[in-house]
């Protein structure tokens, strides 16, 4: 890739940021499409977030992705928000248009793609975790009209807060399950781990009892490194279908790419580039 005076720059900002795979994925897409653009990872300290975002208005930056810990704090500096970003109160994508900053949340659509082929409206689902990703997953499941929803979170109050959020936004009843007790009235059709338990560098495993994972259920772990967590290995052994977080990562990135460029990116190239890294 040759960087020239004409090269447009996109980036992901976070703190820390060196772990991000977004540069690998987006640069693969730019290269495949022969676009005169590049993508970098920039460490922005929390105290400088406002100055950084406001400064974007004076640039020709192609677009910005936002990751931990800035997804919520970025909101106050933006001029307009998509419906999803407004409701979730988090953004992971910024586009600069005519000096105005538009914020989006593409995690929802990224997760929705993980559910392709599943009749969500006839299914029950258990979400493990109620942080930013858990909220996006809950939003996606409710938008797809999930039939029965259970949420379990280490900090129970936060799980209950997500239950209230769902009730307010979708007028839908979800059930908060005390973390580690697994006293669900059924073995759910869909199980999603949205905690970092099992992630490379963090380790551990979710000790979900076998009777909760039924044959044919879809078990999704948002973690993609390692490609198969202990949860996914167990689920596979028990006859469940399993999916790691790679698809969500690629599709949320693809949605950001489309917002910035108006072009559908080459999904396979993006996925291949990431797989070489994990």
Residue numbers annotated as active site: 71
| Shortest distance (Å) from residue 271 CB to ligand NAP | 12
Indicate the residue among 65 and 194 with the shorter CB distance to ligand NAP: 194
- In whole angstroms, how close is the CB of 129 to ligand NAP at the nearest point? 4
Looking at the Cβ atoms of 2 and 157, the one nearer to ligand NAP is 157
Q: Show the tokens assigned to 124.
A: 């029950």
Please give the angle made by the CA atoms of 125, 131 and 137, to the nearest 5 degrees. 35
Tell which residue, 247, 254, 272, has the closest CA to residue 63: 254
Report which secondary-structure segment, H or E, holds 75: none
> Interface residues with ligand NAP (CB under 6 A)?
68, 107, 110, 129-134, 153-155, 158, 194-197, 199, 222-224, 245, 248-249, 252
Nearest approach, Cβ of 142 to ligand NAP (angstroms)?
Answer: 17
Q: Pick from 184, 244, 194: which is nearest to 214 by CA? A: 184
Counting every residue written for the chain, the total comes to: 278
Nearer to ligand NAP, 131 or 226 (CB): 131
Closer residue to ligand NAP in complex, CB, 194/256: 194
- Nearest distance from C-beta of residue 190 to ligand NAP, angstroms: 16
* Least distance CB 52 / ligand NAP (angstroms): 20
d(CA 235, CA 233): 5
Q: Spell out the residues 6+ positions from residue 128 whose beta carbon is closer than 8 angstroms to its own.
A: 134, 152, 153, 191, 192, 193, 194, 195, 206, 208
Question: Which region holds residue 120: left if phi is over 0, alpha if psi is between -120 and 50, else beta?
Answer: alpha
The residue among 75 and 96 lying less far from ligand NAP, judged by its C-beta, is: 75
Assess contact for 78 and 52: CB atoms under 8 A. Answer: no
Coil, helix or strand at residue 24: helix
Q: Distance of CA 275 to CAs 102, 147, 269, Å?
A: 31, 34, 10
């Amino acid at each position: 890739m040759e960087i020239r005076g004409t090269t447009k720059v996109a980036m992901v900002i976070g703190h820390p940021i060196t772990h991000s795979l977004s540069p690998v994925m987006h640069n693969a897409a730019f290269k495949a499409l022969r676009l005169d653009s590049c993508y970098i990872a920039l460490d922005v300290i929390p105290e400088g977030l406002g100055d950084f975002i406001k400064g974007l208005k004076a640039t020709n930056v192609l677009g910005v992705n936002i990751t931990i810990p800035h997804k919520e704090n970025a909101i106050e500096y933006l001029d307009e928000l998509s419906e999803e970003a407004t409701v979730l109160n988090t953004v992971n994508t910024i586009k600069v248009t005519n000096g105005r900053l538009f914020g989006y949340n593409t995690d929802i659509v990224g997760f929705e793609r993980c559910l392709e082929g599943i009749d969500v409206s006839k299914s029950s689902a258990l979400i493990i975790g109620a942080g930013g990703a858990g909220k996006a997953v809950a939003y996606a499941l409710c938008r797809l009209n999930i039939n029965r929803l259970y949420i379990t979170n280490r900090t129970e109050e936060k799980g209950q807060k997500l239950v209230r959020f769902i009730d307010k936004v979708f007028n839908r009843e979800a059930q908060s399950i005390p973390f580690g007790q697994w006293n669900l009235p059924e073995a759910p059709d869909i199980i999603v781990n949205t905690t970092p338990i099992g992630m490379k560098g963090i380790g551990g495993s979710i000790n979900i009892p076998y009777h909760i994972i039924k044959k044919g259920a879809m078990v999704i772990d948002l973690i993609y490194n390692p490609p198969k967590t202990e949860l996914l290995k167990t689920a596979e052994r028990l006859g469940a279908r399993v999916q790691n977080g790679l698809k969500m990562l690629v599709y949320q990135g693809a949605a950001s790419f489309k917002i910035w460029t108006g072009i559908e990116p080459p999904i396979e190239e993006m996925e291949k580039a990431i797989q070489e890294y994990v």
